């Protein structure tokens, strides 16, 4: 399957996006990307331990992917995509959490690269996109 085919599949299928590293500051890229994806109809789940319990983009923020998954499960909501706005050095742990929670895709934003973590996620059955912006790809492909 081509990169564009995988990206289209992810954007159509994974309508609940956990944004790891989402900032509450409107000028930060994570905030702008998440806000625009939310306006396009995606459910955004903020994940940032520094903002745990606060609201970002009208949604409760969680300290971790497992905490978000447990809370959302009460409402029958499952995280489809894990979108990572963290340093490449932090991706391994996020990828392991994405695998553990049963996410369907792992998306590493522009400049976020970890080949070993991506390989582990693919081996676990996740679709992986690395070093690309979900918003740019959404606009480019007219997906979702």
CATH number at residue 88: 3.40.50.720
Alpha helix (H) residue ranges in the chain? 3-13, 29-39, 65-73, 91-101, 115-123, 134-141
Reading the chain (144 residues) residue by residue, the pLDDT tens digits are 569 999 999 999 999 999 999 999 999 999 999 999 999 999 999 999 999 999 999 999 999 999 999 999 999 999 999 999 999 999 999 999 999 999 999 999 999 999 999 999 999 999 999 999 999 999 999 875
Please state the pTM of the whole predicted model: 0.96
Q: Domain limits at 91? A: 3-141
Spatial CA neighbour of 110 closest among 84, 94, 131: 131
- Domains of the chain: total: 1
């Amino acid at each position: 399957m081509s990169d564009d085919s995988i990206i289209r599949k992810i954007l159509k299928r994974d309508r609940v996006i956990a944004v790891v590293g989402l900032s509450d500051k409107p000028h930060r890229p994570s905030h702008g990307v998440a806000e625009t994806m939310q306006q396009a109809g995606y459910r955004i789940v903020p994940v940032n331990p520094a903002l745990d319990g606060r609201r970002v983009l009208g949604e409760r923020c969680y300290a971790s992917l497992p905490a978000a998954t447990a809370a959302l499960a009460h409402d029958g909501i499952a995280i489809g995509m894990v979108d990572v706005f963290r340093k490449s050095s932090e991706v391994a742990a996020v990828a392991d959490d994405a695998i553990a929670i049963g996410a369907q895709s792992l998306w590493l934003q522009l400049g976020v690269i970890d080949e070993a973590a991506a390989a582990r996620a693919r081996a676990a059955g996740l679709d992986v996109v690395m070093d690309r912006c979900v918003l740019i790809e959404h606009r480019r492909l007219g997906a979702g």
